[in-house]
């Protein structure tokens, strides 16, 4: 069943990336009036670049994780099988 979930996961990842980018753009608009700095920009403050990267990474991880979990729940309801591990392993 895990193989059957792969296309759903790929499409979900793309959709989550799109939604995450839109969310980041909206949030960055509240932080600064300029576009977010990128690593290839020459004249950029390292503090501003680090802030932009941290915000972008956190938003992407959050949106992707929530979407992935919801997709797995829907898949499990439809098929009766969970496409992943039941719980985290002990450290």
Domain residue spans in the chain? 17-79
3-state SS, residue 76: helix
Please tell me the pTM assigned to this model. Answer: 0.82
Q: What's the rounded Cα separation, in Å, for the pair 67 and 90?
A: 24
Q: Quick one: pLDDT band at residue 31, thresholds 50, 70, 90?
A: very high
pLDDT at 1 over 90: no
Buried b (16+ CB within 10 A) or exposed e, 26-51: eebeeeeeeebbeeeeeeeeeeeeeb
pLDDT reported for residue 61? 96
pLDDT reported for residue 86? 87
């Amino acid at each position: 069943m895990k193989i059957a979930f792969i296309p759903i996961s790929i499409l979900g990842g793309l959709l989550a990336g799109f939604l995450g980018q839109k969310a980041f753009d909206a949030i960055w608009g509240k932080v600064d009036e300029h576009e977010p700095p990128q690593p290839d920009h020459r004249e950029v403050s390292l503090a501003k670049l680090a802030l932009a990267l941290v915000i972008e990474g956190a938003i992407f991880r959050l949106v992707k994780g929530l979407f992935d979990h919801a997709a797995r729940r829907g898949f499990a309801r439809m098929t009766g099988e969970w496409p992943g591990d039941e719980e985290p392993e002990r450290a």
